[in-house]
A and B are shown apart, each in its own frame.
Chain A
C-alpha cells in the first residue's frame, strides 16, 4: 500500500513538471504586463518599473523563473502576488475552503441524487419514473452549464428573491443559501451522468449469473439488490464520482465565476486577467496536488470495492 502510493507519486512528478513547464512557457507569449496592469492608469517611472520587475523576478528569462519557482516550491513558498503583494499561500489558504465547501456540497448532491435516481430508474425499469429520469438526464447533459447557472440566478434570485445569486455570504442570506445555486449548477451535468451510469450498471449486473445464484439461494429481491448487485454496480460509479470530485476540487472556474464564488477557480480566473502569474502558478500547483490526492483516494476505494484489484501488483498503475 505504502509502496503503491510512492509509485503513484513518482508517476505524478513528470505530469506535474510537464503541466507547469507548459504554463510557464505560455506566460512568456501571453500579451500584457502584470506590473503595468497593477499600476493601472497612472504611469510608473522607468526606474520604479524596472525595480518592481526585478523584485518579482520578471526580468529573468522564463526558464530561470521556472527553476526559481521549483526551488521556492520545495521550501513551501509559492511566491508573492504581483497584483496585491500578498503571499500566494495566504491567498489560497483563504480561498481554498470555499472551493472545498462547494465541491463537497456538489458531490453530496451528485451522490444522493445521481445514484438515487439511477437506482430508482433501474429498479422501476420502463415505468414512469424510469422515463422521467432518462428524459431529464438527457436534457441536463445537453444543457450548457453557464446557461443553467444564469437561468437559476434569474428564476430563484431575480424573479423569486428566495436565493442569493452572488458571493459566499451576505447579511440577508445564510451561508447555506449562498451555497445552493452554485452547488446545483456545478453538480448538474455530473449528476445526470452518475444517474445514467448507475442505471446501466445495475441493469447489466442484474443479468449476471451470480445474481441468478443469489436468487436460487432464496434471497429476497431486496437482499439481492443490496447484498449482491449494488457493490458490483457501484464500482464504475465510484470511479466516475471520484474523478469528478478531483475536477471539482480543482476549482470550478465556470461556476465560481458565474456566482462570484470566492474559491480557487474564481481566484485563478481573476489572476489570469491581471497577469498575476505567481497566483496562477500557485493555484495550478494546488490544483494538481488536489487531483493527485483524489485519484489516489479513488484507487484505494476501488480496491476496497473490487477484491480483484490489489496494490503492489506490477501490472497495475
Chain B
C-alpha cells in the first residue's frame, strides 16, 4: 500500500547475554497508516517495549542484535539508514512516551526546558521561541498556569502531570507517529482515563498516528484501529479491532479476553486468568510457544512452529488451527476467580 507510514516486517531482536540468547523480539510484523492507532497487546515480558525501541534504534548493540526483518518509515529503512538520519526522525517524525513518568523526565532540568529541547534540535528555534512554544504545549495538554509551571522541576509535578508533560514533549514537533509505551500503567485509574482521553483528543487535532502499547486489551478496545497481540516475542494475532474483538482466533487472545474484568457488577462474573507463566525467552518451548499454557493444545502444537497466516481480510493468526471451522473457543469454564 502506498499510504503506509510505518511498516515492520518480521523484525527480530535478540540479546546475546552470558546466559544465552534472549529472543526478545522474534518475528513481529505490522503496518501503520497515517492517523491510525495500532494497539500492541501482550503480557509483561512479551517484547512490546523492545519492539518499539528496536524500531527507533534505541537498543544498545551489543548486547542487542537485529537478527532479521525490516522497519520502513515512509518507505525508507530505519535499520540501515545513517545514525544522523535516525536522529532526525527521533522526537521529530516519530516520538515516544514511556511507562514511568516519574523517572522519564530529567530531575535536574526545568520542565519547560525539557519540552523545548526537541524544538531547538529539530526546528531550529531559538531558546526563547522554543520556551514560548513549550508553554503553549503545556497549555494544550491541560496544565493550568502553564507559564509558571514550565519553570517547575519534575519533582514539583504529580505523576499525571508529568505524563502530560511527556505528551507535550512528544508532540512538540508535530510527529507523524507517537509511540506510547504503557503510558498509563503507572498512574491511578482516574488519571489513566484522563490521559487516554487527552491522547485521543490530541490525535483528532493533529492527525498523529499512535502505537499504543499496553498489557490491557481494555485500554485499546475503544481507541485502536488495529490490534497486534504479542506472545513470547512473536506476533500471534493481528487484525482490525473488530476482528480481534469479535472473531479472536488465537487461544492466547481468548485467554486475554477472559482475563478482562467485566464492569457489570450486577451479575457475578468470572475472571479467568491464563494459567501458568510466560516462557523464558532464553528457552522458548519448541513448536507453538504458547503450547504449554494452551487449554486447546494438540499433538502438532508441540512440534510445528505456526506461521502467521491470513484468515482473510488481513486478519492474521499464528495458531495452527485458526482456520479450522471446528476449532472454537469454549465458554470460560475455568476454576476462575468468582467475584
Contacts and interface: CB of A to CB of B under 8 A. Distances in A.
A209 B103 contact: yes
B275 interface: no
A220 B118 CA distance: 11
A218 B105 contact: no
B98 A212 contact: yes
Interface string B89-117: 11110011010100111111110000001
B56 interface: yes
A220 B87 contact: yes
Interface string A203-235: 000001110111111111001000110011001
Contacts of B95: 216-217
B90 A213 contact: no
Contact of B96 (A210, A216, A232): A216
B108 A213 contact: no
A59 interface: no
A218 B92 contact: yes
A316 to B, nearest CB: 14
B153 A215 contact: no
Contacts of B89: 218
Given A217-B91, A218-B92, A210 B107 contact: yes
B107 A307 contact: yes
B103 A208 contact: yes
A218 B122 contact: yes
Contacts of B56: 216
Nearest to B86: A218
Given A209-B103, A213-B105, A219 B98 contact: no
B318 interface: no
A210 B104 contact: yes
A208 B106 CA distance: 9
A3 interface: no
A308 interface: yes
A33 interface: no
A214 B106 contact: yes
Contacts of A220: 87
A216 B58 contact: yes
Contacts of A175: none
B88 interface: yes
Contacts of B169: 213, 217
Contact of A231 (B58, B90, B105, B108): B108
Contact of B118 (A218, A228, A306): A218
Looking at A213, A216, A305, the one whose CB has the most chain B CB atoms below 10 A away is A216
A315 B169 CA distance: 33
Interface in B43-67: 56, 58
Nearest to A234: B108
How big is chain B's contact interface, by range?
Answer: 20 to 34
Counting chain A residues whose Cβ lies within 8 A of the other chain, the interface size class is 20 to 34
Nearest to A304: B108
A216 B179 CA distance: 10
Contact of A308 (B87, B91, B98, B153): B153
A213 B162 CA distance: 13
Contacts, number: 72
A223 B91 CA distance: 14
Interface string A225-266: 001100110010000000000000000000000000000000
B105 A217 contact: no
B155 interface: yes
Nearest to B53: A212
Contacts of B103: 208-210
Contacts of B109: 228, 231
Contacts of B96: 213, 216
B121 A213 contact: no
Nearest to A212: B58
A218 B121 contact: yes
Contacts of A235: 108
Given A209-B100, A217-B117, A219-B117, A305 B91 contact: no
B155 A308 contact: yes
B183 to A, nearest CB: 13
A218 B83 CA distance: 10
Given A209-B98, A307-B155, A308-B155, A216 B90 contact: yes
Given A217-B118, A217-B121, A218-B91, A307 B153 contact: yes
Nearest to B152: A307
A305 B106 CA distance: 12
A213 B106 contact: yes
A223 B121 CA distance: 10
Contacts of A209: 98, 100, 103-104
A228 to B, nearest CB: 5
B108 A216 contact: no
Contacts of B166: 213
A205 to B, nearest CB: 10
Contacts of B117: 214, 217, 219, 227
Contacts of A214: 106, 117
A90 B94 CA distance: 69
Given A214-B106, A217-B118, A218-B91, 6 more contacts: A210-B103, A213-B98, A218-B118, A219-B87, A219-B121, A232-B106
15 contacts: A210-B104, A210-B106, A212-B58, A213-B104, A213-B169, A216-B58, A216-B91, A217-B90, A217-B118, A218-B87, A219-B87, A220-B87, A227-B117, A231-B108, A308-B155
Interface of A: 208-210, 212-220, 223, 227-228, 231-232, 235, 305-308
A-B residue pairs, 6 tightest by C-beta: A217-B91, A218-B91, A218-B90, A209-B103, A210-B106, A307-B153
